[in-house]
Amino acid sequence: MHLPDQPDHARLRDAFRWRIPDRYNIAVDVCDRWARAEPERPAIIEVSKDWQVAPVSYGWFREHSNRLANALQARGVTRGDRIAILLPQGRAVLTAHLAAYKLGAIAVPLAALFGVDALAYRLADSGAKVVVTNEAGLAKLRQIREPLPDLALTISTDGRDGSTEDWEALLAGASPQFTPLDTTPDDPALMIYTSGTTGNPKGALHGHRVLPGHLPGVQMPHEFMPRPGDLAWTPADWAWAGGLLNMLLPALHFGVAVVARPVTRFEPDEAYRLMQDLGIRNAFVPPTALRMLRGAGSPQGRFKLNLRTVAAAGEALGAETLEWGREALGLTINEAYGQTECNLVLASSAALGVSRPGAIGKAVPGHEVAIIRTDGTVCAAGEEGQIAVRRPDPVMFLGYWNNPAATAAKFIGDWMTTGDEGVQDEDGYFRFIGRDDDVITSSGYRIGPGEIEDCLLRHPAVALAAAVGKPDALRTEIVKAFVVLKPGRSASSALVSELQNFVRARLAAHEYPREIAFRDELPMTTTGKIIRRLLRAEA
């Protein structure tokens, strides 16, 4: 399951073979095997809101996940039941995940930033039997008016409240001994809801194999993790595939401790301080957060960082942010690509010489990725089409929860379609153009929003930008940009013209935004992706 220590991408792909055992359980892999060998080894390093640092060992997690598994089992939770986890980063999140996997139940991570409607939809759709949350989560649950007939047990880490069970009391009254269910790699383990950039979110159901399926895709951008001294962190919510599967669970598999800090808002200077004070070596940072770090000024002279690797995924990184990373962080940010349904299948890696501005990278060893046409045939080099992944693949989802029609529609033959337009060049590099519905058609040209947004970000006045197509009788669509300005910069008609000319001069006459609207903020999913459909509707 691990990449051979071979500094050549082509040889890596040729040499790699999947070796997933017939019996496999995520909790046993990422916790119990380490707890047996080195019970005091740090698994999580918690950093509280007031900067108190507390290491939590693999042994602690084994005992407490066993206690929670026993307590849930005593309350009727059994194989296949859904356990929703609505908490910020911290030990309780991982404990709940491990207990779910040991029971053969299905963990349903929910972002702490979700609003009432988002929670109600996911809890009802998943038929969650248990919710593990805190007081902030309980406050939202109390506002849900729709009936949740499947919900039988609510547990709060902040103490008992009416019919809510107290987390500490529940664990204290349960046995620390538990035998995990003997699961197969294909047994359901985890259900992550799609980000909902288009339509209602769907529950992507994954088997236990999803973790070993992720390991090469983590090792490639993190340059052969684990290395001595590695220490991992991500600001991404562990409820998102990026936080959970791009960092938390793979790092624990490798025996690399993960820094946990419960925050509700990304603050660049706090992030810099955390990386400095904890000596973080490996960070997974979504592109939007990287742009915020860039907007806060260079860390040089203000913070002493010791980063070895930085990976980014979720949106196109852009050449501008890549260049900034080399100058400000002293390393090449390694981009990666995937979806909730099939994650980390493309990646770059400076250690392998796989890095090219404007490109995601190449196929991760073990995954067959191609650009395909609408009939499922593979495109020629340089031909635009849809990014697709061939099944079978261990990182690929089992299917959408209670939605076989949507599952079937996701495939053309054995190709799992992504809905993302892209191009593969003759050297094997993939370039992301945009989602099918994000691509702008103007005067016969197909324009990806990422290139326009990246260009706008190079302007010294721009903090964030999004480009969408606005219907136009003459050109089919025109490009409209929504721009968030940096502090101290003011919107004006003169700035509109300046930005338009800036893009026209650097890209092409047909790509410049014919309309620009200034905003204080842009609509985003909890995973940090711009929700362009809302901007398209406004346009």
Pairing of strands 106-109, 82-86: parallel
Pairing of strands 106-109, 232-233: unpaired
Q: Reply yes or no on whether the pLDDT at 470 is more than 80.
A: yes
> In the block, which residue shows the tokens 């209670």?
402
The pLDDT score that the predictor gives to residue 314 is 79
392 in a structural domain: no
Max alpha carbon distance in the chain (Å)? 71
The set of long-range contacts for 112-117, using a CB threshold of 8 Å and a minimum separation of 24, is: 112/86, 112/87, 112/88, 112/136, 112/137, 112/237, 112/239, 112/262, 112/264, 113/237, 113/264, 113/526, 114/86, 114/140, 114/526, 115/140, 116/140, 116/143, 116/144
Q: What is the CATH number of the domain that holds 77?
A: 3.40.50.12780
Side chain identity at residue 342, one-letter code: C
Give the model's pLDDT for residue 63. Answer: 98
Whether the predicted pLDDT of 196 surpasses 60: no
Asked, for residue 183, whether it belongs to a domain, the answer is yes
Asked if residue 442 belongs to a domain, the reply is yes
Residue 419 lies in a domain: no
**CA 88 – CA 485 distance, rounded (Å):** 29
Do 307 and 333 form a contact (C-beta atoms < 8 A)?
no
Those residues whose C-beta lies under 8 Å from the C-beta of residue 389, and which sit 6 or more positions away, are 342, 345, 367, 368, 369, 396, 415, 416, 418
For residue 283, list its beta bridge partners. Answer: 233, 310
Residue 469 has pLDDT above 80, yes or no: yes
Q: Which amino acid is at 336?
A: A
- How much is the average pLDDT of 165-175? 97
CA 254 – CA 195 distance, rounded (Å): 28
Instruction: Provide the domain count of the chain.
Output: 2
Confidence check: pLDDT of 165 > 80? yes
Average pLDDT, the chain: 92
Assess if residue 145 is contained within a domain. yes
Pairing between β-strand 415-424 and β-strand 385-390 as defined by DSSP bridges: antiparallel
pLDDT at 162 over 90: no
270 falls in which pLDDT band (50, 70, 90)? very high
Domain final position from 208, 228, 244? 208
Supply the range of the domain harboring residue 450: 437-538
| Reported confidence tier of residue 316, pLDDT bands at 50, 70, 90 | confident
Residue 254 located in a structural domain = no
Last residue of a domain, one of 208, 223, 245: 208
422/438 Cα distance (integer angstroms): 12
User: Residue 156 domain-assigned?
Assistant: yes
pTM, full prediction = 0.85
Q: Is residue 351 within 8 Å of residue 204, measured between CB atoms?
A: no
Tell me whether strands 476-485 and 462-472 are parallel, antiparallel or unpaired.
antiparallel
- The predicted pLDDT at position 443 comes to 61
Domain-embedded: residue 451? yes
pLDDT of residue 508: 66
Which pLDDT score, from 0 to 100, does residue 199 have?
55
pLDDT digits (tens, 9 = 90+) for 104-146: 999 999 988 887 888 988 999 999 999 999 999 999 999 898 8
pLDDT in tens, 378-415: 999 999 999 999 999 999 999 999 999 999 999 999 99
> What is the CATH classification number for the domain harbouring 511?
3.30.300.30
What share of the chain in percent tops pLDDT 70? 96
Answer yes or no: is pLDDT of 445 > 70: no
At residue 264, does pLDDT exceed 70?
A: yes
pLDDT in tens, 28-77: 999 999 999 999 999 999 999 999 999 999 999 999 999 999 999 999 99
Q: What is the mean pLDDT of residues 464-489?
A: 87
Q: Which of 151, 180, 208 is the C-terminal boundary of a domain?
A: 208
pLDDT-derived band at 252, boundaries 50, 70, 90: very high
Q: What are phi and psi of 158, to 5 degrees?
A: -105, 15
The confidence score (pLDDT) of residue 515 equals 93
Tokens representing 403 are: 């939605």
- Give the whole-angstrom CA distance, residue 416 versus residue 8: 27
H or E element that contains 123: helix 116-126
Give residue 197's pLDDT. 47
